[in-house]
Amino acid sequence: MRRKYGRLLKKDNVIVFPGAYEKLVEAGRLAVDQEQFEKAVEAFDQAINYNPDSSEFLGPYAIALYETKDFSRAKEYASRLLYSGTADYIAAMELYLAISIQLQHYDEVRETIDTLFEEQIIPERMLKKFNYLRELNERLSDRYSQSEGHAPAVRFSFEEFMEIGTDMQQAMLASLENGELDAMLPVLSKIIGSEELSPIVKTFALILLKQAEYGKAVEIRKFGMEMTIHPNLLPLPNEDKLTSEVLMLAERAYEKDPSKLEMLKSIIRKYGIVTYPFSWGNYTADEVMEAYALYIESLMSGQQLPEDELVDFIQYIDTDFDR
């Protein structure tokens, strides 16, 4: 019996080796799952080049482009996803609107959301998210209109920020990226010092201060810890010396088990983002790696974890926080 390979793909009249396209798509999906978005874009860029008409990975492709801030291309592929007949139309629309807000296409977002509500297309479980998007769009539209042609304005106050949910707080901070931050620096400093806000929200605010090269001392509080920092002097999340050492030890320990290694690296990087800038405190790289080895083996085997303060905290960060 002859083996069936499916439809052969061609690029510039050269037949693509069977399975190459599928491997690229799989690699891109895996990279998105592991939040390695630049790696995902690289894989999907090659895959779409081989098969321009494919719609099977448009969603993760658009997400990866969004996360790497290539908003124009992200919108292109999110739009293609919407018109592809995707089964999860509402999730695709949510992504499309979030990208459009980043591109400051406020009128389009307003009209689209109004139509969705009028036609009662949005399922009840998604109403809160779309109300968040509508409110965020209106706030940013108002601020943008007021500041157009004038000196940079305060996009939102600390008091306004505290009144909204965590999802919208993250979206509002994301809207500040690549923009003029001078007027927002006092608000970002207050966000970092607050004891009430999500650790991830504080991470985003701190990254913005670093990008603005903010050199004044600010206090940050997370998980009962407190530190006075100068944002301009900090490394970015996961770019500090200790994290580099831990990742290097992980590479050595699991070089023969790539799938376990990729999962472990993803968990380590997630910890670095959530706890930034506190990292693992006074633990050494060897101690941290030992804790992660216990944790990853427990995930694989289902065995109970030993009582250990660091292992418990690693598990807490991994299971209780979503990016």
Confidence of residue 245 (pLDDT cuts 50, 70, 90): very high
**Intervals of CATH 1.10.472 along the chain:** 241-320
CATH number of 241-320: 1.10.472
Q: Is the pLDDT of residue 9 over 60?
A: no
Higher pLDDT, 195 or 1: 195
For 50-85, b/e burial (b = at least 16 CB within 10 A) is: ebeebeebbbbbbbbbbbeebbebbbbbbbbbbebe
Neighbours of 38 (CB within 10 A): 10
Domain at 1-103, CATH class: mainly alpha
Tokens encoding 186 = 């006092």
What is the chain's Cα-based Rg? 22
The predicted structure's pLDDT at residue 146:
56
Q: Is the pLDDT of residue 3 over 50?
A: no
pLDDT in tens, 37-63: 899 999 999 888 888 888 889 999 999
What percent of the chain clears pLDDT 70, i.e. is strictly above it?
Answer: 89
Residues in CB range of 276: below 8 A, 6 or more apart: 203, 206, 237
The predicted structure's pLDDT at residue 16:
47
Confidence of residue 147 (pLDDT cuts 50, 70, 90): low
Q: Is the pLDDT of residue 305 over 80?
A: yes
Confidence of residue 156 (pLDDT cuts 50, 70, 90): confident
**Intervals of CATH 1.25.40.10 along the chain:** 1-103
Confidence of residue 177 (pLDDT cuts 50, 70, 90): confident
Whole-number average pLDDT of the chain: 85
